[in-house]
Amino acid sequence: MAKFSAIKQHVYGKIASGEWPENHPVSSENALALQFKVSRMTARRALQELADEGIVIRTKGSGTFVAPIKSQTSFMAIRNIADEIRARQHDYHSKVHVLRREAASDLVAEMLNLQPGDTVFHSVISHFENGLPVQVEERYVNPALAPDYLKQDYLHTTPHEHLCEAQPLTEASHEIEAVTPSNQLCQWLQLSKPEPCLRIHRRTWSAQGVVTYAVLTHPGSRFSLGGHLQF
């Protein structure tokens, strides 16, 4: 088990057992780093992913606390797709199709709170589970908030992992629609013919502003959206 996953399982256990009820303070990054003999960055990633899942609430200057039940929904969770696939004991790999800087279109500028023509970072990556692509991730990034985005090796890490370290997320929005994929998407998803796909439009914020606008496309035959909520 990855070290940050061990920390998450520790927190899950404390909450599930009732030892940490709603609004109970969660161990600090420093305390978890010391307890699990990991770096503070690893502890921070674990807490940030728990916050993304709605399990805890992080407040600058106050600390981290167990979220109220009403906030613990998996529908809005933002998880690292590589971790999800590996958690199912399946093989994960990725393929990078686009990784470049370009001028923002009107839509991308609006999503990132920039001006049309401003420079943005653009990536398109296919994520594979057991040899089949299950998601095409098209992402636009504000260079001012993630200046090293284009320097990463996305065959060995994911945009999610890098951005969680560069700009811990504080807010996100989702829009979901059913679409018919373009010919290009059919190639990237290795579809012999177009089939219904689920598309998620996602914007994420840090304390400094909108960090990314992402469009995630999944083939309907290989993907389902769901979760588990315990009361």
Q: Would you say residue 86 lies in a domain?
A: no
Residue 216 included in any domain: yes
Cα–Cα distance measured from residue 187 to residue 135, given in angstroms and rounded to the nearest whole number: 12
pLDDT for the residue numbered 72: 37
Q: Is the same domain home to 204 and 101?
A: yes
Residue 137: domain span: 91-222
Closest of 165, 155, 150 to residue 125, by C-alpha: 155
Q: Do 55 and 152 reside in the same domain of the chain? A: no
Boundary-marking domain end, from 20, 37, 71: 71
Same domain, 128 and 60: no
42-80 burial, b at 16+ Cβ within 10 Å, e below that, comes to bbbbbbbbbbbbbbbbbeeeeebbbbeeeebeeeebbeb
Mapped onto helix, strand or coil, the DSSP state of residue 138 is strand
Q: Is residue 213 assigned to a domain? A: yes
CA dist 34 and 50 (Å) reads: 19
Q: What angle do CA 106, 108, 109 make, to 5 degrees?
A: 65
- List own/partner pairs for 61-68 with CB under 8 A and 24 or more apart: 63/25, 63/26, 63/28, 64/25, 64/26, 64/27, 64/28, 65/23, 65/24, 65/25, 65/26, 66/15, 66/20, 66/21, 66/22, 66/23, 66/24, 66/26, 67/22, 68/22, 68/23
Residue 45 sits in the same domain as residue 115: no
Residue 230, pLDDT score: 44
Does a structural domain hold residue 108?
Answer: yes
User: Is 49 inside a domain boundary?
Assistant: yes
Domain boundary among 71, 99, 129: 71
Residues 137 and 217 both lie in one domain: yes
**How is residue 28 written in tokens?**
């600090």
For position 122, which CATH number holds? Answer: 3.40.1410.10
Using CA atoms of 204, 205, 211, 216 in order, give the dihedral in degrees to the nearest 10: 0
Give the pLDDT score at 123. Answer: 98
Cβ atoms of 22 and 66 closer than 8 Å:
yes
User: How many domains is the chain built from?
Assistant: 2
Please check whether residues 29 and 121 belong to one and the same domain: no
Cα torsion 85, 53, 19, 35: sign: positive
Q: Is residue 227 within 8 Å of residue 73, measured between CB atoms?
A: yes
Whether residue 97 sits in one domain with residue 160: yes
- The residue from 24, 42, 71 where one domain ends is 71
In a shared domain, residues 134 and 55 = no
Residue-level pLDDT at 170: 82
Residues 123 and 217 in one domain: yes
| Residue 168 confidence (pLDDT) | 84
Same domain, 67 and 121: no
Do both 117 and 183 map to the same domain?
yes
Do 172 and 129 share a structural domain? yes
pLDDT at residue 110 in the model: 94
The structure's pTM equals 0.67
Report the chain (231 residues): mean pLDDT per 10 consecutive residues: 83 85 91 93 90 81 77 54 82 96 96 96 96 95 96 94 88 88 95 92 90 94 61 41
